[in-house]
Amino acid sequence: MVTNFRNSLITCLFSVSALGFAFLTGVSVYKLVSPAKVNQVQQEVAAYQAPHAKSAVQFYTYLEQKPWAPVVQKYMNEQKQKEQELFDEVFAMLGINQATLNEYKKAYYSYYLEGQDRQRCDVSKRAVKKMCNVQQDDIKNFLGDCSVNIDAMNIVSTKEMGIACATQSNLYIDEAGIVNKNNELTEQVKADLLHEVQHMLHDDSFNIWILRVIFKEWAQDNQEKTKLFTALMSRFDKFRENRADILAGLVDPIYARVSADYYKNDVEVNGQDISDTHPNNSERFAYLDQLHKEMLGATKVA
Ligand SMILES: [Zn+2]
């Protein structure tokens, strides 16, 4: 069951990316929105702010209070720098800056949310069912204990096996795949939940979507530009996955450990390594194993 769940996680951001692409390449976003609608949308979202930005800060503060705080600091600084470098590269390619990006995000936020709801992260409406309250409470309590503010996050159950996906406000979960035989969340599932909420805290789904909107304007179906942009976005996707792995692992060495072991097993037993959308499993094992060692080392010194 855990394997099913994890396999689905491997496709989680891929699904979000695919959603963005299908959405944009299938039908032009501009043709879909009437001028009146755009005006309405712009008024509604004049003050766009990443909905989970404050929650992200709250989560960082929680991590900084851990006995392995120096490790937290080191990784957070690295992640921040890497993200800025990637954004700078995208900005240079598209000829925009942070302010332009924010304008686009303001203008398209409601539209994105509508699409998110309609597409349901590739989860069909008929597959969405009411989640068992007890389990939902378990998830909320666990995330709350880790200082993740879940007030603005909807936890949505699906009955389709192998689906777990985070959009900006919805966390889709395959209920049957996440509990052990005692109906408890396993350490592995907890690590996976922590990974998923990182995508929400960091606006990952919306950022991917909006950059592709801007890209469509810039590329005008030019194949060479498309190739360059796709390669850069692939690096960006892998960075987001790495960040989600690392920040989830920093909550407790047990989560770094179970995830590292999972990827090791996937390579050694299942022969699965290469991924287009995520770092390869051998890389994920290596950096999570390293993280685990550093967290234990820092804890002993403390
Ligand atoms: Zn992910």
Residue 227 C-alpha to ligand 1 middle, in angstroms? 23
Residue 8 C-alpha to ligand 1 middle, in angstroms? 10
Residue 158 C-alpha to ligand 1 middle, in angstroms? 18
Task: Kindly report, residue by residue over 16-29, the tens digit of the pLDDT.
Answer: 443 444 444 333 34
pLDDT of residue 118: 53
Residue 37 C-alpha to ligand 1 middle, in angstroms? 32
Residue 38 C-alpha to ligand 1 middle, in angstroms? 31
Q: Indicate whether 212 pLDDT > 80.
A: yes
Residue 117 C-alpha to ligand 1 middle, in angstroms? 19
Q: What is the rounded CA–CA span in Å between residue 289 and residue 295?
A: 10
Residue 255 C-alpha to ligand 1 middle, in angstroms? 15
Residue 165 C-alpha to ligand 1 middle, in angstroms? 8
Residue 137 C-alpha to ligand 1 middle, in angstroms? 22
pLDDT of residue 220: 80
Between 43-52, 55-64, 288-297, the lowest mean confidence (pLDDT) is in 43-52
**Whole-model pTM?**
0.83
